[in-house]
């Protein structure tokens, strides 16, 4: 990486001579180095899944939440620095509340994504701020149906059929591309995400899955996937992985 140590990577308010903002790229790196987060937009809803490495045997199960409801019809999963992610979540939920009290209707997905992206982008504008070290996958079910957005530390926001951030993103995206998302139901999506997370996870440390969805089955409300379903998906995914490992 040219330019490192030349002083162009100290602040977000200075471009490097070849047109890059290093601080923003480092923030993206913080996301890229942390646990994988996958999002799928299926035909009847959106499923989000996070890989959470268990940092201590004594950690209480379900700690360090990564999926959050933002409103009844919207929620997000954050990858990267969890604390930064919480700031994004708080902002998004107050945007949703503010929109509701002003317009009297739920916030549409594209507005929520845009406003969240604007908020994240703010941290790329001033020398005395550092960019957000986290990316947010936003799942919304509004009158236009289910939608999935990704907001990155640079403040860009895009709509996706399926995407992934974090350590295993490349492999995960490859697997997502093989899926027929327009035929997949959320129930199947849960299993697919479980398989993907198991595949991209490196064996050394155990991990916990955190899955959340918004679909017809969850009354079009953003909810965590029921525990028994997660357990079932987990065992099935593990079995599938062991099978394919045997063949190798």
Query: Which residues sit at the interface with another protein, rule CB under 8 A?
Result: 68-72, 93, 97, 100-101, 221, 224
Residues 6 or more apart whose CB falls under 8 angstroms from that of 28 comprise 135, 152, 153, 154
The nearer residue to another protein, 188 or 218, going by C-beta atoms, is 218
Produce one character per residue of 215-248: b if its CB has 16 or more CB atoms within 10 Å, e if not. Answer: bebbebebbbbeeebbeebbeebeeeeeeeeeee
Could you tell me the smallest distance in angstroms from the CB atom of residue 139 to another protein?
Answer: 14
The nearer residue to another protein, 221 or 232, going by C-beta atoms, is 221
- Give CA 48 to chain center in angstroms: 7
Could you tell me the smallest distance in angstroms from the CB atom of residue 27 to another protein?
Answer: 26
Closest CA to 176 of 157, 159, 189: 189
Distance CA 208, CA 64 (A): 11
The nearer residue to another protein, 27 or 69, going by C-beta atoms, is 69
The nearer residue to another protein, 13 or 90, going by C-beta atoms, is 90
CB 43 within 8 Å of CB 185: yes
Q: Taken in order 59, 91, 98, 155, is the CA torsion positive or negative?
A: negative
Could you tell me the smallest distance in angstroms from the CB atom of residue 96 to another protein?
Answer: 8
Could you tell me the smallest distance in angstroms from the CB atom of residue 66 to another protein?
Answer: 12
DSSP letters, 183-198, are T--HHHHHHHHHHHHH
The nearer residue to another protein, 91 or 121, going by C-beta atoms, is 91
Could you tell me the smallest distance in angstroms from the CB atom of residue 122 to another protein?
Answer: 22
Could you tell me the smallest distance in angstroms from the CB atom of residue 103 to another protein?
Answer: 12
Distances (CA, A) of 199 to 144, 204, 211, 220, 236: 33, 13, 16, 29, 12
The nearer residue to another protein, 31 or 92, going by C-beta atoms, is 92
């Amino acid at each position: 990486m040219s330019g490192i140590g030349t002083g162009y990577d100290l602040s977000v308010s200075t471009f490097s001579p070849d047109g890059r903002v290093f601080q923003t790229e480092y923030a993206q790196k913080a996301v890229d180095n942390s646990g994988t987060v996958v999002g799928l937009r299926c035909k009847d809803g959106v499923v989000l899944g996070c890989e959470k490495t268990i940092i201590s045997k004594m950690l209480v199960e379900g700690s360090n939440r990564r999926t959050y409801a933002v409103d009844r019809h919207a929620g997000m999963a954050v990858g990267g620095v969890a604390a930064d992610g919480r700031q994004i979540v708080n902002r998004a939920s107050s945007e949703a509340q503010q929109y509701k009290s002003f317009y009297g209707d739920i916030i549409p997905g594209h507005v929520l994504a845009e406003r969240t992206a604007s908020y994240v982008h703010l941290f790329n504008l001033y020398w005395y701020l550092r960019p957000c070290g986290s990316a947010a996958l936003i799942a919304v079910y509004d009158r236009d149906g289910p939608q999935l957005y990704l907001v990155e530390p640079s403040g860009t926001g895009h709509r996706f059929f399926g995407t992934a951030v974090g350590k295993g993103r490349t492999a995960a995206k490859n697997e997502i591309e093989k899926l027929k998302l327009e035929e997949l139901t959320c129930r199947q999506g849960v299993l697919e995400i479980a398989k993907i997370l198991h595949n991209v996870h490196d064996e050394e440390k155990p991990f916990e899955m955190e899955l959340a969805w918004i679909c017809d089955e969850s009354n079009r409300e953003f909810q965590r996937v029921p525990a028994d379903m997660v357990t079932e998906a987990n065992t099935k995914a593990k079995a599938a992985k062991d099978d394919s490992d045997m063949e190798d």
